[in-house]
């Protein structure tokens, strides 16, 4: 395929699923633009990020599959971006299936499957579970692991 591809996302806690998505998106065209959601926009969506916008944008900008990073500041900007950047393909994860079909008169709309077994939501849940374990419980667990290592070493 040829032409410019655009996608949107928060890209908090960058992980292999993000990398897989960007790689697949880049293969859909000649140029990939990634709109990274600003902290203010995420706040308006009721979303909290761990990594500030400037750092998330820099991480995404540093990925070799990405040609340009722009800020996502509002829901309505998608049509404006498609027209402004001459987008041929709008692509996003399949969990948004059907939500952006209003762009079909202006460009191709593609919903890609997510990488199984990894998501930012799952990572945040794991982090919350991990951080809820007391320091004493963690130290005890390390003591048990150390004893097992010595016994079965």
Asked if 123 and 13 count as a contact pair (C-beta separation under 8 A), the reply is yes
Alpha helices in 14-134 (DSSP H): 16-26, 39-44, 53-61, 77-84, 120-131
Backbone φ/ψ region at 119: left (φ over 0), alpha (ψ -120 to 50), beta: beta
47 is catalytic: yes
Closest CA to 88 of 74, 69, 108: 108
Specify the 3-state DSSP secondary structure of 144: helix
Residues labelled as active-site residues: 45, 47
């Amino acid at each position: 395929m040829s032409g410019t591809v655009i996608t949107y996302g928060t890209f908090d806690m960058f992980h292999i699923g993000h990398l897989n998505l960007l790689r697949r998106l880049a293969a859909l065209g000649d140029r990939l633009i990634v709109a990274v959601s600003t902290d203010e926009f995420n706040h308006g969506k009721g979303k909290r990020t761990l990594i500030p916008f400037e750092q998330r944008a820099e991480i995404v900008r540093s990925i070799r599959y990405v040609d340009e990073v722009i800020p996502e500041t509002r829901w309505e900007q998608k049509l404006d971006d498609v027209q402004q950047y001459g987008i041929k393909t709008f692509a996003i994860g399949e969990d948004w299936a059907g939500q952006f079909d209003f762009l079909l008169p202006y460009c191709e709309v593609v919903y890609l499957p997510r990488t199984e077994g990894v998501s930012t939501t799952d990572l945040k849940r794991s982090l919350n579970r991990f951080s809820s374990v007391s320091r004493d419980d963690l130290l005890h667990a390390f003591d048990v692991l150390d004893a097992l290592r010595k016994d079965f070493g």
